[in-house]
Amino acid sequence: MDQDRFTELAPDYALGLLEGDDLEQFERHLAEGCEACEVELSRMDAVGDALAYAAPLTPAPDRVRDRLLLAVEADVASTRAAANTAPIAAPPAPPAKVANAAPAQPVAPSMAPGREPLQPTYSPAPWPPPARPSAAPPARRPGPFGPLIPALAFAGILATVLTSVYAVKLRQELALVRADLERVQSENQELARVMDVVNAPRLKLIALGGQTAAPRSEGRVLWSPESRKAVFYASNLPAPPAGKDYQLWIIAGSTPKSEGVFPVDDKGGAMHVLPEVPEAGGVNAFAVTLEPAGGLAQPSGPMFLLGAVPAATN
């Protein structure tokens, strides 16, 4: 295995993640005294410490806490049991005293019986003596945070999941707020158009009565002939069937002119600002018919409301 491969394995070894053959080869490589791997492991120790303190404080799940407490209690119990069962070495007994015995005289090693005197020796070895091989460095063990790696990984995964859930919820709430804002802006624009009509000079009121299809329905048109602006109101209109819309018409002479389709609320009420009103002299009546969804160029369905314009208005 080359040096680059050992350098790649150094981070996993520092985190306690190496196993099997990779672990044995890496520890053997460290024992041979690789300075590059030692430097890399020193850097990874600093990074591991920083990661441990950078992780947010998250309470451990109950099951993880219980397992940790059980492991600590078992370790303490086994340590105490080993200490209680270990034999205690008895101190050596002092030598027996002999009455009237003369104190023992120390004997020089060179003069001990049965041994020859030590003779000086000389070896023509080279000087300085060859350097002694350095002792193999002890096998490096995972850092102090090795046992906490699973808990830190779980905390990181949990934080990622919670952040993702919060982001999804925040996007949903933002979409709702955006939809409400667009609705309010649309309503404000419609209200501004209505106020523009109401504030116009010489405002006229044209009443529209219910026809055979809806005799209880009523309608009104606030119309300013001078500014050619108008707004239509209706009440008691029945809900249109699926695929149908109410359409407003201006009858000028004998030719109806479409002023667009409009919705009806659940109480049968409606409000619609007319996009363009002809000059006063050419308007004879206002009418509402039921047409296919989106409206037609000319009326084809039953008439629900109709109101004639008085001659004095023109």
What are the structural domain ranges in the chain?
204-308
Cβ atoms of 235 and 269 within 8 Å: the answer is yes
Mean pLDDT of 147-173: 80
Top pLDDT among 76 and 212 is at: 212
Over the chain, what is the mean pLDDT?
A: 77
- Other CB atoms closer than 10 Å to residue 172's CB: what's the count? 10
Q: Determine the longest span between alpha carbons in the chain, in angstroms.
A: 160
Mean pLDDT of 76-105: 61
Using one digit for the tens of pLDDT, what is the confidence trace for 216-249? 999 999 988 888 888 999 999 999 999 999 999 9
Question: Is residue 142 helix, strand or coil?
Answer: coil
Cite the DSSP H helix spans in the chain: 3-14, 20-31, 35-54, 62-85, 149-198
What's at 19, amino acid-wise? E
Mean pLDDT of 55-59: 64
Residue 142 half-sphere exposure, CB side, CA atoms within 13 Å? 16
Question: Is residue 68 helix, strand or coil?
Answer: helix
Query: Does 86 have pLDDT greater than 80?
Result: no
Query: Does 198 have pLDDT greater than 80?
Result: no
* β-sheet bridge partners, residue 312: none
Cβ atoms of 191 and 290 within 8 Å: the answer is no
Q: What integer pLDDT is reported at residue 238 of this predicted model?
A: 95
- Euclidean distance between the first and the last CA atom of the chain, given in angstroms as a whole number: 102
Q: What integer pLDDT is reported at residue 220 of this predicted model?
A: 94
Q: What integer pLDDT is reported at residue 174 of this predicted model?
A: 82
Query: Does 110 have pLDDT greater than 50?
Result: no
- To the nearest 5 percent, what fractions of the chain are helix, strand and coil? 40, 20, 40
Return the sign of the alpha-carbon dihedral for residues 296, 233, 287, 311: negative
Q: Which of 34-37's residues contact partners 24+ apart within 8 Å by CB, and which partners?
A: 34/3, 34/6, 36/3, 36/6, 36/7, 37/6, 37/7, 37/10
- The lowest-confidence range among 131-135, 203-207, 270-274, 303-307 is 131-135
Residues 6+ away with beta carbon under 8 Å from 249 = 256, 257, 258, 259, 286, 287, 288, 289, 299
Quick one: fold of 204-308?
Immunoglobulin-like (2.60.40)
Most confident of 48-57, 60-69, 305-314: 305-314
> Could you tell me the pLDDT band of residue 200, with boundaries at 50, 70 and 90?
confident
Query: Does 125 have pLDDT greater than 60?
Result: no
Query: Does 282 have pLDDT greater than 80?
Result: no
Share of the chain above pLDDT 70, in %: 73
